[in-house]
Copies of this chain bind each other. A is one copy, B any other.
């Protein structure tokens, strides 16, 4: 599952995580490589599954989702299909992590209002007991994985 990356690969990943739309020629300049060499490496990172995609990052508040919340769900039993169906349908659920601990699921939910959030939490409460925390702020700008050693 793990791929061997040299420091050039990490530089490329750093640049593409900062600016995913940078042209390959400019990227080549930044990591001191030729355009074709950098293209080869990027393609390799993509096919090896290191880079899983490119995403525009959208400001939630700017598009009307004024409320962000973390909801933890205690889910008794093992029939997970009904929950998964809800996850598919409710696009307000941005992320769903299955974790260890009593609260088996941790969800990130974006809502337009508290009333809207309440409705979603009510739906989730049908599956088990929920704990909801409203997010005041994101205290870190975006950050992806960086080189672990040096």
Contacts and interface: CB of A to CB of B under 8 A. Distances in A.
A35 interface: no
A110 interface: yes
Contacts of A16: 55-56
A77 interface: no
Copies in the complex: 2
Interface in A15-64: 16-21, 48-64
Nearest to A105: B139
A8 to B, nearest CB: 14
B64 A148 contact: yes
A106 B135 CA distance: 9
Contacts of A5: 63
Given A21-B21, A70-B106, A133-B106, A95 B53 contact: no
Question: For A3, A57, A63, which residue has the most chain B Cβ atoms within 10 angstroms?
Answer: A63
Interface of A: 1-3, 5, 13, 16-21, 48-66, 68, 70, 84, 87, 91-101, 103, 105-106, 110, 112, 131, 133-140, 142-146, 148
